[in-house]
């Protein structure tokens, strides 16, 4: 018999009267873009309504767990600012928030469903993989019509699973916020396993139990779970529980035909961070993968997390799949890089600067100032700075520049005259260096570029550099600048 007191106590714990959402990842791998979008939408629905955002760890699939995956979940949520109000690490009124720690609960509810005539004990010899799949013909199963007393007697000594008893006749209709009402014939649904032989629930059963007992009002998940929604409804109805609002999100695609997949080299959140994308840009872009703002915000592209919380409306979620466009993400990332204060950018850029510039005498902050408007992502930085630590080998043809009106002969003359002028500078800063060049060009009666181009080639050995010759000379310092100009003179003299 069911323990009515236990069920009454569980019901009494359920919070009511506010929006409650949950992000319920499995620690079975990395945080792919679709996972992050689910977490973000779940968070935004809660925050938009001043509700509660819950983290629940769904670890019932013990065979697929990956070491360290749980830490990735916590780290990603923290980095993204998706702070949960309840969860395994912070507790809450409906703890525990880890499914394996709720093991005894599921068995009690599965047996309750048997008593109510919505589930049955199955003793058929099925493999573990079949327990979780829909490969099951109800008509071939003698357990489905077994006398309940006989089933209870056999369950005392024989291994069993508990299956959902889906009606043969009629239809089941469920409502989704994006897809509307969907009706399916019951004879198209399988008697899914609810409780496995090891006593752990299947994903589908644990979700329904936990969502009810945690007071979840909105369930956000991928559209691949639309096919399971009718069976969720039948479970809710079997228990006599209120059905939460379903919000099924269409997949994030690599292209028109293929969903994003780690197997195909598509990036996870952590991959994108390693590739130099800012968290704020990733979040902003991911929010728009399948959702669009309404009204006066309809044309807005850039949102902070706080602004997303205010603007987010479930009605803006699209039924159409969203294609992940890395070039569009670069566009967002460049915007966020430009929007940073110089101090913020210098802090973010320094690790990448030091990958290429090991000499601590060269100011990372000054180098960062050259880069903020010249890179789309942080990983662009090292390749732009390879000339600082060591002057690369270069061809004297670089000294010839039509726009600057220079060639090898003119450049040699400029460098020979620039060397004593640079040597004579008492103050070594951008203002002093720039004044020297402009005065020098004035005396020669030529454009500034005619004197600056040869010096820039001499000190960098590169056609393209972040910043101009004034900034580079300032960062290199007087001694190294003079040494490189001398080397340029020697190279041009042959």
> Counting Cβ atoms within 10 Å, is residue 108 exposed (0-12), middle (13-18) or buried (19+)?
middle
The secondary structure of 110-152 as a DSSP string is: HHHHHHTTSEEEE-----HHHHHSS---GGG-GGGG--HHHHH
DSSP 238: H
Residue 150 sits at the vertex; the CA angle it makes with 148 and 156, to the nearest 5 degrees, is: 105
User: 54 pairs with which residues across the strands?
Assistant: 22, 86
Q: Compute the residue count for the chain.
A: 494
Q: Taking the C-alpha atoms of 46, 52, 53 and 56 in order, what is their torsion angle to the nearest 10 degrees?
A: -140
Reply yes or no on whether 262 is catalytic.
yes
d(CA 429, CA 442): 20
- Rg of the chain (C-alpha set): 32
> Which residues neighbour 408 within 8 Å (Cβ) at sequence distance 6 or greater?
396, 397, 399, 400, 492
Which among 78, 66, 21 is positioned nearest to 44, based on CA atoms? 21
Whether the link from the prior residue into 96 is cis, omega within 30° of 0, is yes
Q: Exactly one of 262, 274, 294, 319 is catalytic; name it.
A: 262
Which residues are identified as catalytic? Answer: 262
């Amino acid at each position: 018999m069911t323990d009515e007191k236990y069920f009454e106590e569980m019901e009494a714990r359920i919070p009511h009267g506010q929006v409650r959402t949950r992000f319920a990842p499995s620690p079975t791998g990395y945080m792919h873009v679709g996972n992050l979008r689910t977490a973000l939408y779940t968070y935004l629905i809660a925050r938009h309504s001043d509700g509660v955002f819950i983290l629940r760890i769904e670890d019932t699939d013990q065979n697929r767990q990956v070491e360290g995956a749980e830490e990735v979940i916590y780290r990603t949520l923290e980095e993204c600012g998706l702070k949960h109000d309840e969860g395994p690490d912070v507790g809450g009124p409906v703890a525990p928030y880890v499914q394996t720690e709720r093991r005894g609960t599921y068995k009690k509810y599965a047996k309750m469903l048997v008593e109510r005539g919505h589930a049955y004990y199955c003793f058929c010899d099925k493999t573990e993989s079949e327990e979780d799949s829909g490969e099951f013909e109800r008509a071939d199963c003698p357990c489905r019509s077994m006398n309940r007393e006989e089933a209870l007697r056999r369950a005392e000594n024989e291994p069993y699973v508990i299956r959902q008893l889906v009606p043969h006749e009629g239809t089941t209709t469920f409502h989704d916020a994006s897809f509307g009402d969907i009706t399916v014939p019951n004879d198209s649904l399988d008697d899914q396993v609810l409780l496995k032989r090891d006593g752990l629930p299947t994903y589908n059963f644990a979700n329904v139990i936990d969502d009810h007992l945690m007071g979840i009002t909105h369930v956000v998940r991928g559209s691949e779970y639309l096919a399971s929604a009718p069976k969720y409804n039948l479970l809710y109805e079997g228990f006599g529980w209120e059905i939460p609002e379903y919000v099924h999100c269409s997949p994030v695609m690599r292209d028109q035909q293929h969903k994003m997949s780690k197997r195909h080299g598509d990036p996870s959140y952590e991959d994108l961070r390693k590739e130099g994308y800012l968290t704020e840009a990733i979040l902003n872009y991911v929010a728009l993968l399948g959702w669009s703002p309404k009204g006066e915000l309809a044309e807005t592209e850039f949102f902070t997390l706080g602004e997303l919380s205010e603007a987010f409306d479930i009605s803006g979620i699209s039924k159409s799949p969203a294609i992940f466009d890395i070039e569009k993400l670069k566009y967002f990332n460049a915007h966020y890089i430009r929007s940073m204060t110089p101090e913020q950018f210098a802090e973010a850029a320094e690790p990448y600067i030091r990958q290429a510039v090991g000499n601590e005498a060269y100011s990372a902050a000054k180098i960062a100032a050259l880069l903020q408007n010249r890179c789309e992502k942080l990983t662009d930085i090292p390749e732009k700075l390879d000339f600082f630590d060591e002057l690369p080998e270069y061809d004297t043809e670089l000294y010839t520049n039509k726009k600057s009106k220079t060639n090898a002969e003119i450049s040699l003359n400029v460098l020979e005259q620039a060397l004593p002028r640079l040597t004579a500078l008492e103050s070594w800063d951008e203002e002093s260096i720039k004044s020297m060049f402009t005065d020098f060009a004035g005396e020669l009666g030529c454009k500034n570029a005619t004197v600056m181009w040869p010096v820039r080639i001499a000190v960098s050995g590169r056609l393209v550099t972040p910043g101009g010759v004034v900034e580079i000379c300032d960062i290199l310092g007087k001694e190294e600048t003079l040494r490189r100009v001398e080397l340029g003179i020697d190279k041009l003299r042959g």
